[in-house]
Amino acid sequence: MTDTKESAHPVEHHEAPVVRVSADERTPKIRQIVFVALISALFALVWLEVLGLLNSAFWQNNFVTANRWMIPVLVLFFSLLVGLVGKYMRAPNVIHGTMEDVLTDPNFNPDFTTFPGALLTSFFSMLSGASVGPEGPLIFLVVDIAAWFGTKLKLTGQTLLGFAGAGLASALNGIIGNPLFAALFSSELQGGEKGGLQLIAWNLVAGVIGYVFFVLVAYPGFASSIAATPVNVLTIPYAVAAVILGIIGALLAIFIGISFQIFGRIMDRVFKDRFIERVMAAGVIIAIVGYFVPEVLFSGEAELHPILANPVAYGVLMLLGLAILKVLLLGLSFKSGYLGGPIFPTLFASTMIALAISLLFPGVPTGLLITSVIAAAITLVLGAPFAAILLTITVSTSNTYELGYIGLATATALVIGTAFKTRMAQRTAKRAGA
């Protein structure tokens, strides 16, 4: 299920086709939706636990923590494994396209022979220090697993895709820590004409099951992981600030998109089809940067907390530098062949920018700064504004007052993103006509 599409969206997000369930297609029963939800949630939990064990074994042992030179050694070792698995086991990647493409493929026809490579490269990519999030690998893996069960039920076409999406909703909701996130995310991506309500129902049922499963096993998830004192008042100055922060978040998302495009062109031009060399070249850069600035390694959710606890120790310039480096490594990682998602690196970069602004303007509530920048940036990165708002509320400690500011920031980002996309489309049309 390797992505092959390029995009005109400021952060390379495609125009999603409408997912339709034809009347003559076989549809699953509710008990089958429940079954795939449980299987998907269980797989996601096991995958996360194995990843945690591997991360502890390789990166958190006493020898590695005491010897900084082991950072480039491990980065290059796992990068080599990513390259080998990608070349010889046809592991999927996001070099040409996005992680969401699999959810909106009008010709959905999974190739299950790529699953072993996807599983291996998911661990190797996450352990390499590359700036990629865990949601990307899980999308590929869970969709494959759910789709395999769907084929046993003789599901086909878009019904099979909807069934696989229900499994994914279960896994994502459990990880994020919200029973509604994936249903909203899938609905925004897939559209909702014919068969839309049925697909939403599947996602809701499966998503709630996944959420409850993770709660029952006491998995912490990422709910309230970026805690800041919420705003408890609605004022005009704060509303103006939310609009400004929406502009900043939109610019961050556009910067992410530009980073993707630049690294994509460079890597394609220099390495073409030489996949191992492509990954290893990126690994060298990640290793060098990570040696001097280890805070920007990995997806960012764990590295975020020490900075969030004491941003003054870093200062404005360092915080902005961390945000820029994180975005550049995100673009490099995606376009070099590592398998991952953009959500958590974007959360990291957004929070760094918000903390820098907080140091410059201490009178503005940190909660307002963080949630507004995150919501605006994630809106354009995912191309799903309501899911972005829900994700922001989930990972933060927002209340209904703050929700108003988040909505303003999100709307601002949408306006800017739409204008930017239109401008880029006009420029492309001019070049084509020249």
Taking only the tens place, the pLDDT of each residue in 307-352 is 998 999 999 999 999 999 999 999 999 999 999 999 999 999 999 9
d(CA 291, CA 269): 27
Structure tokens at 315: 């200062």
d(CA 434, CA 37): 52
Domains of the chain in start order, with CATH, are 30-216 (no CATH), 236-427 (1.10.3080.10)
Structure tokens at 418: 């739409």
- Cβ neighbors of 114 (< 8 A, separation 6 or more) are 1, 2, 89, 90, 91, 92, 144
Average pLDDT over residues 238-260: 95
Above 90 in pLDDT, residue 66?
yes
φ and ψ at residue 341, rounded to 5 degrees: -120, 165
- DSSP one-letter code for 274: -
Give the pLDDT score at 285: 97
**Among 2-6, 60-64, 286-290, which range has the highest average pLDDT?**
286-290
d(CA 363, CA 74): 43
In the chain, % of residues over pLDDT 70: 91
Give the pLDDT score at 180: 87
Give the pLDDT score at 226: 83
Closest CA to 334 of 144, 99, 73: 99
Model confidence, pTM: 0.89
Element (H, E) at 235: none
Above 60 in pLDDT, residue 433?
yes
User: pLDDT tens-digit profile of 175-214?
Assistant: 888 888 888 887 777 655 445 677 888 889 999 999 999 9
User: Which amino acid appears at position 165 of this protein?
Assistant: G
Give the pLDDT score at 187: 73
Average pLDDT over residues 386-412: 87
